[in-house]
Structure 1
C-alpha cells in the first residue's frame, strides 16, 4: 500500500466493481513516473448474513478502505440488467457504495462495461481475458490480477485515468 506523501501531480484513483457477495476494488497511482498498482482485492459478504448485515459490511469495509487509501478520484461500474437475476442485489450494493463515497465527498465517474473494455482494448465487446491482459500490461504486473472482481476494478481505475487524460481533471469533481 502507498505510504509516501503524494507529489502535486500524483493522483490516487480507485476503481470499484459493485456486487453484494463480492465487490472488487483496485487503486492505482497515476503520476509523473507512470501508472502503478497501489492495492487491489475484494470486499466479501456472506450469503449466511441477512441483507441489512451484508449492506452494513459493505459500508463499513468500504469506509475503512477509503480512509486508508484516500483516493482523489473514483470510478464505478454502471449498473445494467444482468441475466443472472441479481440486479436488485447489485443495485442495493451500489446504493451503499454511493452513500459511502458521498460521506467521503467523492463523486464517482461511472462507466458501462463496454466503455471499460473499449478504453483498455479498443473493442467494446472484448472478453475478460483481453481486459485482464491489458490491465496487467498497463500496470506492469508480472501476472494477470486476481480475483476477477479485483481485475475489473483495476480496469475501471485505468478507465478513469484514460478518461481524465482525454477530458482533463474536470472529468471528476468531489462533492462540494
Structure 2
C-alpha cells in the first residue's frame, strides 16, 4: 500500500509518501513541504497548496491519503488556516478518487512512538529509525507527514480490514481470521517486522 501523509498548514504543508504492508517494513518514497508566502491572500495560498497536492498525487500515485485531524488550538488564526489546508487536502484526494482517512495527533504519536504524548523531536527520531534514514526529515512538518503515512499503513490498514470483515458478516469464509488479524494489527509496535525493536 502506498500512502500520502499530509500534515496540513497554510504556511508549510508537510507531504510524505510511504509504501508498506503486511510483512513489509515501511519504505520512504518521497518527502517534502509545500510552502506559501504569508503576505499572499489566504485564497491564493490555498490554490498553491491545491496545485502542490495535485502534483504529488500525479507523480507518486498513492493509493490512500492520510490527513491530520485538526484540533482547536490556542491560536484561532493558526487553527483556521490549518483547517482550510486540511479541507483542500481532502478535496484534492476525493477529486482524484482516493480514500481519505483522518488521524488525530495523539493517534499518530502513539502509533509511531508508543506514547500519545510524544513531542515532535521523538516523532522525528522514530520516523528516522522506522524508515532507516540517515537523518530526521526537516522541517518537522515533513517528518509529521511521514508519521501520518506510517500510522495509516499500520493502523488504517488494520481498521479497513476489520471493517471489510465486519461488513462481510460472521457466516462468510475467513471472517474469524480476518477479524483476528485486524485486531492483532491494531498494535503495530508489538511487531518486529516493522523495523521497530
Fold shared, TM-score > 0.5 on shorter chain: yes
Residue pairs, 1:14-29, within 5 angstroms: 14-29=4-19
RMSD of the TM alignment (CA)? 1.7
Q: SS of the residue aligned with 1:54?
A: helix
Mapped partners of 2:143, 2:83: distance in 1: 21
Mapped partners of 1:41, 1:136: distance in 2: 14
Mapped partners of 1:113, 1:171: distance in 2: 22
Higher relative contact order (CA 8 A, sep 6+): 1
Whether the aligned pair in 2 keeps the contact of 1:24 and 1:149 (CA below 8 Å) is: yes
Higher helix proportion (structure 1 or 2): 2
**Per-residue deviation, 1:168:** 4.7
Mapped partners of 2:86, 2:132: distance in 1: 30
Q: Alignment length, in residue pairs?
A: 162
Is 1:83 matched up with 2:74?
yes
Structure 2 unaligned residues grouped into runs of 5+: 165-197
**Per-residue deviation, 1:165:** 5.0
Aligned partner of 1:4 in structure 2 is none
Query: What is the TM-score with the length of structure 1 in the denominator?
Result: 0.86
Counterpart of 2:48 (choices 40, 52, 57) is 57
Aligned partner of 2:145 in structure 1 is 153
**Per-residue deviation, 1:13:** 1.1
Structure 1 unaligned residues grouped into runs of 5+: 1-10
Mapped partners of 1:170, 1:26: distance in 2: 25
Aligned partner of 2:31 in structure 1 is 40
- Larger-gyration structure (1/2): 2
